[in-house]
Chains A and B, each alone.
Chain A
Amino acid sequence: MTELRLEGLVHVYPDSGVRALDGIDLRIDTGERVALIGQNGSGKSTLARHLNGLLRPTEGLVLVDGQDARERTVASLAGDVAVCFQDPDRQVFSGTVAAEVDFGPRNLGWSADVRRTAVATALDAVGLAGDQRTNPYDLGDSRRKLLTIASVLAMGTPVVVLDEPTTGQDARGVARIGAIVRQLAAEGRTVVAISHDMTFVAEHFARVVVMRAGRIILDGSPADVFAEAAWPILASTFLEPPLAAVVGARLDLGSTPTPDAVVAALRARTA
């Protein structure tokens, strides 16, 4: 299976000279659900773009399945690590929803039958099963975003990277994306998501990596990262813990990053 390893990763953008990543050491095992959080400009997206070779390290190493990512083309890495970008308007190009989702699998050279199944399954997962023939530009922003997620899911990669998947989604959309994350994990696939939505992160991810100024400053379970002791560190990168964590701390329940954790802790206390 596919393990991701970053060793001493440094990235300096040649045009601006900005040191976006400043020595990242990170290992993500197969099947992990990892959320990357941190203030705007902390290096999350730059990190994500190294996982599929879109950006090459200035220093250090990116190992995908033990192999140096520099030795492979982006097109071949796309079969292992699929990255879904933030802005649908900067990628959607096909005339129909089905053709858009089919783009990735076709690039991977799959047969028509296999592709048809993959497209149908991916569209089903994001709730667009009935829209195969719709023009993507008739979908509306939030559903077009779900379409981009489907077009990455359809590629069946062992690693799926989602950049800000919940932006612009209502509660139903967020729940749908949460279900997708769980489903991917159940299939043993790795999910890495960049998000500013702390509630979403706490509910759906087993591991949270916090970045600031191109470095990792916290790495642990939601219970660790959102524990009261870590709040000052979160604040230093302009993050706030989810509401459930604050409630739990105020009620002396320990670290309770999700509403379920609050309820469980309250039950345990009253029992």
Chain B
Amino acid sequence: MGHDTLTTVGDPAEPAGDRLARPLPAWLGRPGPTSWHRLNPLTKLTIAVVTSIQAVLLGGIVGPSMVLLLAVVLPAVRTGVGRQVIRTSLLLALPLAISASLVNLFFLPDAPTTLFELGPFRATEEGARFALEIVIRVVAIAGALTLFYITTRTSDLVVDLERRGMSPRLTFVVGSAVTMVPQMVDRASAIAAAQRARGLDTEGSPWRRMRGVLPLVGPTIMGALNEVEERTLALEARGFTRPGRRTLLWSPSDPAYERLVRWSLVLTIPVVVIVRAGGWGLP
């Protein structure tokens, strides 16, 4: 390695002198591009969770549709991530939505009104309505979670949870779970590239592709295990298991009105429960 450092100058983005002059790494505390991004991570998480719960609680078609529009579509479009949210949440929701629609459309019990018949199967109006209700709920939940995921940096969420007194072990688990998927995808594609470079045929017949899986699985799993071990060691070396509260160099801001927003949102849940229990509701 000594050989390397002798002849190569470091990363151009980070000249040595500048590193000392700047007290914190550049990514830390960098504000998000929009005011939605800049909301406290817990606020965005609360919005996502309450949206999901309300989409189920409200029942009918109008209520969940309004929730979907107000809490998912509107912020997503205003934040400029509309297309991304639609694409991802439809991918998430589609399998469940399609199967639930088919089952209810044709097999909802006690549904007298026939829409049309397909061989032995009878599609009913009641079934269609119920299917629509389910699809809207599923899409609303998928959309709310996707919007949260896309507009929140994992590091911000982890830091914020830690500031609120959550155990570092727990926040670490949250953080690694969220970041693991893209890392695994990245690793798997690098491994696939290396094996294809050695003649592994991933473009041929299904049988050839099946045979090609083994050389990809091995290093993916070995690497993931290795990474866990190395990460544990690195954390340990930096005093991860040391008892006591950590001093945070930076954490996302959490103004009083956001706290108000969060509590109001949470309070809508018992309100709706009571209203629904009383027998009221939107169509």
Contact = CB atoms under 8 A, between A and B. Distances in A.
A52 interface: yes
Interface stretch (B148-156, B213-221, B272-280): B213-221
A108 to B, nearest CB: 5
Contact of A93 (B1, B3, B201, B218): B218
23 contacts: A54-B193, A73-B201, A75-B196, A78-B198, A78-B199, A85-B190, A87-B190, A89-B219, A89-B222, A90-B194, A91-B195, A93-B219, A93-B222, A103-B195, A103-B200, A104-B199, A107-B198, A166-B4, A168-B1, A197-B3, A238-B12, A241-B7, A243-B6
A114 to B, nearest CB: 15
B253 interface: no
A40 to B, nearest CB: 6
A219 interface: no
Interface residues of A, number: 47
A94 B216 CA distance: 11
B226 interface: yes
B197 A197 contact: no
A90 B190 contact: yes
Contact of A90 (B8, B10, B187): B187
Interface of A: 39-40, 49, 52, 54, 73-75, 78-79, 82-85, 87, 89-94, 103-104, 107-108, 137, 151-152, 155, 166-169, 171, 174, 196-200, 235, 238-243
Nearest to A89: B223
B203 A75 contact: yes
B197 A83 contact: yes
A102 B266 CA distance: 61
Nearest to A81: B197
B197 A74 contact: yes
A54 B197 contact: yes
Nearest to B227: A89
A197 B1 CA distance: 9
Contacts of B215: 93, 103
Given A197-B4, A240-B9, A85 B193 contact: yes
Interface of B: 1, 3-4, 6-12, 187, 190-191, 193-204, 214-219, 222-223, 226
Given A89-B219, A89-B223, A238-B8, A104 B3 contact: no
A238 B15 CA distance: 11
A137 B7 contact: no
A199 B199 contact: no
Nearest to A105: B199
B196 A79 contact: no
A79 B215 CA distance: 18
A238 B219 CA distance: 33
A241 B218 CA distance: 41
Given A89-B219, A91-B219, A197 B199 contact: no
B219 A90 contact: yes
Contacts of B214: 93
A75 B204 contact: yes
A91 B193 CA distance: 9
B227 to A, nearest CB: 9
B280 to A, nearest CB: 48
A239 B215 CA distance: 37
Contacts of A74: 196-197, 202-203
Contacts of A167: 1, 4
B83 to A, nearest CB: 14
A196 B8 contact: yes
Contacts of A54: 193, 196-197
